[in-house]
Structure 1
């Protein structure tokens, strides 16, 4: 989920924590627990700083080890130790328990996005991405804000947040049902499709669709059960050429292929370099496919420059690559 949603979830957990008689009766424990909950609701995303290094490192590792089983256990312990040192006399066990809940819920809700997490590490490197909730879901965010507002007027937080999470639970069930209906509709529309990827959008009934048959890739949108296919690409295997082999060894291209389950390729000769471009088909936006990996290869099969990430114009891509095509 996005940072804003994690924050309001932290506030909601803090409200529920006040039902704990130890937290409610001990000032130091209450302050430490709320601090642990709020920091714990955000700390798994500390790997966002990897973006300062480069996109390849960020794409490979974001929501990786910081969302793993060892991390879920270590973050609360580290935070509890630090908070206990800052607030002597605070109840260690109660701080740890509520901080653990906050960290666990952060990782748990992230698995329902299309991006997913490596939440099963170290037992599996597989990305767990259920894909029923958009990274930012306005309904979930607004429900939290409304519930927090009601709590601020003095209503019992247990009552308020019990209703909130009951509604959100039903909401998740509805999202699963809508996604299943969309997948069934796509299968009926494209009976030759052997692979179907359905991703949520910010709108409840609208979904991104990518489907593949033995010969084609299809890209479209669903609104409820109504399926619209925008693009159809011939599914050709990427050629076994020296320039392709050289590109595939580049760190940016490797990061892209590890992250993207379905993409098409383009190979273009531009001036004295050969451009190998991989295009993720899951993120079509306004007739454009913004998530790409590009490698420029010279005649000696050296990677002159490369890039992976989200780009919404060729001019910006060329600027990133420090390349003038004309």
Structure 2
């Protein structure tokens, strides 16, 4: 989920924690647990700082080890060790419990996004991505804001958010049902599909679709369970040419290939250099595919420049690459 949603979830959990009599027995205990749930709901995303180094490092590592089983166990211990000395009269066990729940909840809800997490590490490096909830879901965020307002007006925060989470449980079930209907329709339209990726959007009834069979890629969208195929591409195996083999050694393209399961590739030759482009087919937006990896090499196959990430116009891509074709 996005940072804002994780924050309101941390506050909601602090509200639920008020049902624990040990937490409400003193101001210190209440304050320490609130700090623990708010920071705990954010701490797995500390790997976001990797963006400062490069997009390639961020793509390879975001929601990786910081969302793993060892991390879920260690984050609460570390946070409790930091918070407890400031509130020595609080119950350390209950501080740890609520901080642990906050960390666990963060990783758990991220599993439902299309991006997913490597939550099964170290037992498996597979990305767990159920693809039923958008990274930012306005309904989930909105109902949390409503709950916080009700709390501010004097209602019991524990019972308020227990009720809200019961509603959200039903909401998640409805999302799974909706996704299953879209999946059924896609299988009817493309019965020989070998892989189907259905990704949510911020709109409840709309889904992005990327499908592959042995010979083609299909990109589309669904509104309710009505599927519309927008683009089709032939699947062309990546040839083992010197240009492409050299390009695949680039860190940006390597990171892209480690992350993207459905993509097509292009190669262009200009007067002074080659340009290799890989395009992720999962994120079609306004007739454009914004998630790409681009590598430019000279005729001696030395890498001149490269980029991977989200780009919504060719002009911005050229600025990122810092080379304008002549």
Q: Do they superpose with TM above 0.5? A: yes
Equivalent in the alignment of 2:21:
21
- SS at the partner of 2:4? helix
Query: Partner residue of 2:8?
Result: 8
Can you list the C-alpha shifts for 1:26-51, whole angstroms capped at 9, x where unaligned?
Answer: 22221111111110011111111100
Structure 2 CA distance, aligned partners of 1:7 and 1:30? 17
The residue number in structure 2 matching 1:167 is 167
Indicate the SS of the match to 1:23.
coil
How far did residue 122 of structure 1 move? 0.9
Q: Distance in 1 between matches of 2:151 and 2:88?
A: 29
Q: RMSD of the alignment, in Å?
A: 0.9
Q: CA deviation at 1:191?
A: 2.2
Instruction: Give me the whole-angstrom Cα distance separating, in 2, the residues matched to 1:118 and 1:192.
Output: 29
- Please, which runs of 5 or more residues in structure 1 have no aligned partner? none
SS of the residue aligned with 1:25? Answer: coil
Count residues with an aligned counterpart: 326
Per the TM alignment, residue 158 of structure 1 is displaced from its structure 2 partner at its CA by 2.7
* Residue matched to 1:78: 78
Contact between 2:67 and 2:119, CA under 8 Å: does it hold in 1? Answer: yes
CA deviations 1:215-261 (Å, max 9, x no partner) are: 11010100012111111111110111011001111110110000000
How far, CA to CA, are the matches of 2:163 and 2:22 in structure 1? 24
* CA deviation profile, 1:62-85 (whole Å, cap 9, x unmatched): 111111111111111111111111
Provide Cα deviations, 1:276-306, integer angstroms capped at 9, x if missing partner. 1100000111111010011112122211111
Q: Is the 8 A contact 2:16 2:159 kept in 1?
A: no
Report how far residue 148 of structure 1 moved. 1.7
Q: Identify the residue that residue 270 of structure 2 maps to in structure 1.
A: 270
Q: After the TM superposition, which residues 1-326 of structure 1 pair with which residues of structure 2 at under 5 Å, given as runs?
A: 1-326=1-326
In the TM superposition, residue 153 of structure 1 has moved relative to its aligned partner by: 2.1
Separation of aligned partners in 2, 1:180 and 1:312: 30
Q: SS in structure 2 opposite 1:123?
A: coil
157-166 vs 104-113, greater mean Cα deviation: 157-166
**Distance (whole Å) between structure 2 residues aligned to residue 64 and residue 195 of structure 1:** 23
TM-score normalised to the size of structure 1?
0.98
Q: Which runs of 4+ in 1 moved over 6 A?
A: none
Q: Deviations over 1:77-129 (max 9, x none)?
A: 11111111122222111110000000000000000000001111111111111
Residue 191 of structure 1 aligns to a residue whose secondary structure is: coil
Alpha-carbon distance between aligned partners in 2 of 1:84 and 1:159, rounded to the nearest angstrom:
27
**Structure 2 gap segments, 5+ residues each:** none
2:24 aligns to what SS in structure 1?
Answer: helix
